[in-house]
Amino acid sequence: MDHSSPLVYVSNVIVTLRPSFILLRQVYRRVHLLPVFIFILTLCLLGVSDPRFTCQVSEEPVPNFNAERAFFYLQQQCDFGPRYPGSDAHKKTRDYLTVELRNLADEVKLQAFTTKGIEMTNILARFRGGKGASMLLCAHWDTRPFADQDPNPKNRGTPILGANDGGSGVAVLLELAHHLNRYPPPNEVIIALFDGEDYGREVDNMFLGSTYFARHREGWEADFGILLDMVGDKDLRIPKERYSWQTSPDLMQTLWDRAADLGLAEFFPIELGRAIMDDHVPLIRAGLPTIDLIDFDYPYWHTVEDTIDKCSPKSLEIVGRLMLDYIYR
């Protein structure tokens, strides 16, 4: 993800994703039926929720998130070393994640693509469920090839380990996969592990996997998505990412309400955070509403110090509990 990018990067996205009010203008201009206009406006003001974000309710108890197993998944990734595209560690990690998901999911697809002569792979896993809204849960599994934000200039060409930036989101999703395997979800869930998120120095060379998926998601369509990125920080605090709030306020508010119900409000403050360029932006641009759960106030971002000792099982559990509650309750 890239926080250095100003709002202008997705300003064109924001203005295209206000369907309710675009519809209102079209109704008023084309039909000229003031009562119809007032009726629709009333529905909007009363907070009628987008049905795409409404999941079927399960009567089964919500499973318990296994924080230690999630942290084990994080350790396994880090044991491969920096996992940047083109490296041996990258290939070994791809194979490892593929085997894990094939043991758990109903269907797995390797979505291979080539960028600038480098082979990359999105790993997609389907967990079949009920007939409600299909949900995409995603994270990126690659790591940055250079520590360009390191305070020591000598380290800025060194690949990062990416424990939090990449590894943490994947660890949570792998643990969720265990529960999705054991307890079929009320709605279909697709897990997508994106490659090439952190590949380039410029924004045009980042978010490569999510961009490819957004353009080639035939057979893997979802109604909405939730992105997990940098969710393992010991000092976890996830405000409302600004693009997410501007484009999918209903979904984001639902999750924050669930967090409060679970006693997790201190980790999900109601304040509006910064606008972050991340894997959710290509999905939003392609018409797939997606929010980003990200703790960007992480002092080791894109440095050689993004190591596993900066992460904690508790933080993974906090995010994992919220995801399980949203999926099953």
Tell me 167's DSSP state.
Answer: I
Structure tokens at 316: 């993974």
132: Cβ contacts below 8 Å, ≥ 6 apart: 54, 55, 56, 186, 187
d(CA 79, CA 71): 12
Sheet holding 290-294, edge to edge: 107-115, 118-131, 187-194, 135-140, 224-229, 290-294
Structure tokens at 22: 């675009």
d(CA 37, CA 50): 18
* Domain 51-328: CATH class, spelled out: alpha beta
Q: What is the pLDDT along the chain (329 residues), one digit of tens a residue?
A: 544 433 333 322 333 333 333 333 333 333 343 443 444 344 444 444 454 454 444 456 789 999 999 999 999 999 999 999 999 999 999 999 999 999 999 999 999 999 888 999 999 999 999 888 899 999 999 999 999 999 999 999 999 999 999 999 999 999 999 999 999 999 999 999 999 999 988 888 899 999 999 999 999 999 999 999 999 999 999 999 999 999 999 999 999 999 999 999 999 999 999 999 999 999 999 999 999 999 999 999 999 999 999 999 999 999 999 999 999 98
Q: Are strands 135-140 and 107-115 parallel, antiparallel or unpaired?
A: unpaired
Contact present, 301 and 149 (Cβ < 8 Å): yes
d(CA 40, CA 24): 7
282: Cβ contacts below 8 Å, ≥ 6 apart: 207, 210, 211, 213, 214
Instruction: Report the Cα 22 to chain-centroid distance in Å.
Output: 27
With CA atoms as reference, report the closest residue to 120 among 213, 37, 184. 213
Contact present, 262 and 209 (Cβ < 8 Å): no
**In the chain, domain spans:** 51-328
pLDDT of residue 60: 61
Q: What is the number of residues in the chain? A: 329
